[in-house]
């Protein structure tokens, strides 16, 4: 496996252009959480040309709804949720300047095209390793939509948060490539 | 008639909700370790190692294995000689879920289907009650995550489709689910009954101990054959490519209507959680 690449948002076009599928990346700095309900609201704001709760440009959104923080911890378990549910919203956010998304599972053709056109990448974190991943989250603060509970938008401070590049700016897809390598099924 | 106070059921459900979400079963851990032996992909091996470490951290630090602490699915085997006093069975269970999800710092993931407004306490639970002989109550709490549940399907095949048709449906379902349900998964298959019974059989099959053999020799053979076909897909841990896509296929079957062949596939992520108690 390749060496680990260190990244700190905000990311530039140049930062994401050098990433290739399969790259192991560790993110340190600030990332934002958002899943189904928050995405719906962000896209409504963009369509109405209203201000977002945070400046999207160069940022990374982590598709996660953490479990509640027990006393003395910033957050409970915090692994990724399945990304395809954010596909209807993601292209608009990418167009507005979002540079990275962290989740699990495959993205739609439209999202992959938007990543190519506006220079953004999609990272996978390990689904179901929420207890382990929470160790990389040092601080969590709800910055918008507290009424959404687990779906509120949080500002996370992370240190060496481990992810893998699944879709790069060239339209490559690690899921497709990885499965091709290990499949024993003859192509129909 | 044996009397059981509803508060005992509440207390038991509360404890089971917390334990299920924080303590991954020994059978699942063993299956993940076996998968680590079999996995050829370096990335896949790295993921499996991290999943085993994750389970250890969750247990030692009393935090959930996965942030999706699930829909509280509760199976009740209620002895017909038991009389529950003090409250209704449903309310006793819901109160246990309410308390367990609050005290255990578990995520509340249940919402109104249209408004998406969260119910705030992870209720209502989904409760399946079976009346059985005797004066005991068995409670099984099986929190079910949304990611793998979303990849599950029920279909009504024609009798002509036969075993091959069922296999094709099952393997195709896993293939199309790809990385979404957090592989390595457990594939629960319900065959027969009616439309809703097939789904329930599939879910029940997930409660069987991982690594155990099906009691029906024919189904045992099919489970092995279908697992091989699934693992030939190359989806691998987290869908990034590899040998181990699923840890097991579990089949539950019952007779069906002469016109029908209902089949359900209930996919379970590697965080296969269920704990039980008998009162």
Summarised one tens digit per residue, pLDDT across range A77-104 is: 999 999 999 999 999 999 999 999 999 9
- What CA–CA distance (Å, rounded) separates B29 from B273? 11
Sign of CA dihedral B98, A62, B24, B55: negative
Closest CB from A78, A151, A178 relative to B240: A178
DSSP letter for A31, please: E
* Cβ atoms A143, A54 nearer than 8 A: yes
Q: CB-based burial of residue A90 (10 Å sphere; 0-12 exposed, 13-18 middle, 19+ buried)?
A: buried
Give A64's contacts in chain B (Cβ within 8 Å): 67
Closest CB from B58, B235, B238 relative to A131: B58
Q: Note the Cα A63 to chain centre separation in Å.
A: 6
The three-class DSSP label of residue B11 is helix
Degrees to nearest 5, angle at CA B55 with B250 and B104? 100
A129 and B54 within 8 Å at the Cβ level: the answer is yes
| pLDDT the model gives residue A21 | 95
B239–A contact, CB cutoff 8 A: yes
What is the per-residue DSSP string for A114-170? Answer: HHHHHT-EEEE--TT-HHHHGGGEEEEEEEE-GGGGGGSEEEEEEEEEEEEEEE-TT
- What CA–CA distance (Å, rounded) separates B12 from B195? 32
Query: What residue of B is the nearest CA neighbor of A179?
Result: B241
Q: Where are the beta strands (DSSP E) in B36-81?
A: 71-79
A106 and B67 within 8 Å at the Cβ level: the answer is no
**Residues pairing with B131 in the sheet:** B78
* Closest Cα in chain A, distance from residue B170 (Å): 15
pLDDT beneath 50, residues of chain B: none
A179 and B241 within 8 Å at the Cβ level: the answer is yes
* B238's tokens: 């987290």
DSSP letter for B278, please: E
A127 and B105 within 8 Å at the Cβ level: the answer is no
Q: How many CB pairs under 8 A join A and B?
A: 174
* B35's tokens: 């998968």
A2 pLDDT exceeds 80?
no
Domains parsed from chain A with CATH numbers: 4-170 (3.20.130.10)
Give B267's contacts in chain A (Cβ within 8 Å): none
**Residues pairing with B157 in the sheet:** B261
* Closest Cα in chain A, distance from residue B243 (Å): 7
The three-class DSSP label of residue B78 is strand
Between positions 71 and 100 of B, the ones with CB within 8 A of A are none
Given the structure tokens 């689904």, which residue do they identify? Answer: A127
A132 and B53 within 8 Å at the Cβ level: the answer is yes
Helix-strand-coil split of chain B, %, nearest 5: 40, 25, 35
A8 catalytic? Reply is no
| Sequence spans of domains, chain B | 2-20+65-144, 147-272
| pLDDT the model gives residue A1 | 59
| pLDDT the model gives residue A186 | 73
A1 and B47 within 8 Å at the Cβ level: the answer is no
Q: Which of A35, A39, A104, A119 is catalytic?
A: A39
Q: Where are the beta strands (DSSP E) in chain B?
A: 2-5, 71-79, 82-85, 126-132, 137-144, 153-157, 185-193, 246-256, 261-268, 275-278
- What CA–CA distance (Å, rounded) separates A114 from A184? 32
B63 and A131 within 8 Å at the Cβ level: the answer is yes
* B120's tokens: 């705030």
Query: What residue of A is the nearest CA neighbor of B53?
Result: A132
Closest CB from A124, A128, A174 relative to B51: A128
The three-class DSSP label of residue A62 is strand
- What CA–CA distance (Å, rounded) separates B238 from B180? 8
| pLDDT the model gives residue A3 | 82
Query: What residue of A is the nearest CA neighbor of B40?
Result: A182
A149-181: per-residue pLDDT in tens?
A: 999 999 999 999 999 999 999 999 999 999 999
A17-43: per-residue pLDDT in tens?
A: 999 999 999 999 999 999 999 999 999
- What CA–CA distance (Å, rounded) separates B223 from A6? 44
- What CA–CA distance (Å, rounded) separates B34 from B51? 13
Residue to substitute from A79, A127, A148, A185, interface B, most B β-carbons within 10 A:
A127
- What CA–CA distance (Å, rounded) separates B256 from B264? 13
Closest CB from B58, B106, B182 relative to A104: B182
* Closest Cα in chain A, distance from residue B38 (Å): 13
What's the mean pLDDT when you consider all of chain A?
A: 95
DSSP letter for A10, please: S
Number of H helices, E strands in chain B: 8, 10
B268-279: per-residue pLDDT in tens?
A: 999 999 999 999
A188 pLDDT exceeds 60?
no
Q: Where are the beta strands (DSSP E) in B6-161?
A: 71-79, 82-85, 126-132, 137-144, 153-157
| pLDDT the model gives residue A187 | 60
Bridging pattern class, strands B261-268 and A100-103: unpaired
| pLDDT the model gives residue A135 | 96
Question: How many of the other CB atoms lie within 10 Å of CB of A50?
Answer: 8
């Amino acid at each position: 496996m390749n060496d680990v690449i260190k990244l700190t948002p905000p990311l530039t076009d140049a930062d994401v252009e050098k990433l290739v599928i399969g790259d192991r990346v560790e993110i340190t700095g600030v990332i934002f959480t958002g899943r189904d309900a928050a995405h719906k609201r962000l896209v409504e704001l963009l369509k109405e040309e209203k201000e977002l709760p945070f400046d999207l440009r160069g940022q990374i959104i982590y598709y996660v709804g953490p479990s509640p923080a027990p006393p003395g911890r910033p957050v409970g378990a915090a692994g990724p949720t399945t990304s395809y549910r954010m596909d209807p919203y993601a292209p608009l956010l990418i167009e507005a300047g979002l540079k990275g998304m962290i989740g699990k599972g495959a993205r739609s053709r439209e999202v992959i095209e938007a990543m190519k056109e506006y220079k953004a990448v999609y990272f996978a974190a390990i689904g179901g390793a929420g207890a382990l991943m929470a160790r990389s989250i040092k601080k969590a603060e709800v910055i918008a939509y507290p009424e959404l509970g687990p779906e509120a938008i949080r500002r996370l401070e992370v240190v060496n948060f481990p992810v893998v590049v699944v879709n790069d700016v060239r339209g490559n897809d690690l899921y497709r490539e990885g499965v091709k390598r290990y499949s024993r099924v003859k192509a129909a | 008639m044996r009397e059981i106070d509803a508060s005992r059921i509440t207390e038991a459900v509360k404890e089971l909700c917390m334990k299920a979400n924080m303590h991954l079963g020994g059978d699942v851990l063993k299956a993940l370790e076996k998968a680590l032996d079999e996995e050829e992909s370096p990335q896949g091996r790295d993921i499996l190692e991290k999943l085993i470490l994750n389970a250890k951290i969750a247990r030692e630090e009393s935090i959930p294995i996965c942030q999706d602490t699930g829909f509280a699915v509760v199976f009740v085997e209620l002895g017909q000689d038991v009389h529950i006093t003090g409250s209704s069975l449903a309310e006793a269970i819901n109160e246990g879920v309410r308390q367990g999800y609050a005290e255990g710092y578990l995520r509340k993931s249940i919402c109104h289907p249209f408004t998406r407004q969260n119910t705030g306490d992870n209720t209502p639970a989904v409760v399946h009650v079976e009346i059985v002989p005797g004066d005991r109550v068995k409670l099984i709490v099986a929190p079910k995550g949304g990611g793998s549940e979303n990849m599950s399907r029920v279909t009504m095949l024609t009798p002509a489709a036969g075993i091959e048709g069922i296999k094709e449906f099952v393997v195709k379902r896993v293939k199309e689910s790809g990385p979404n349900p957090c592989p390595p998964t457990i594939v629960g298959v319900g065959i027969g009954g009616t439309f809703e019974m097939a789904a329930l059989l599939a879910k029940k099959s997930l409660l069987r101990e991982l690594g155990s053999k099906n009691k029906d020799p024919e189904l045992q053979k099919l489970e092995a054959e279908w697992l091989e076909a699934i693992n030939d897909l190359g989806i691998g841990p987290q869908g990034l490519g590899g040998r181990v896509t699923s840890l097991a296929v579990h089949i539950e079957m019952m007779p069906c209507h002469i016109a029908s062949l209902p089949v359900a596939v209930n996919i379970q992520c590697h965080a296969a959680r269920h704990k039980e108690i008998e009162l």
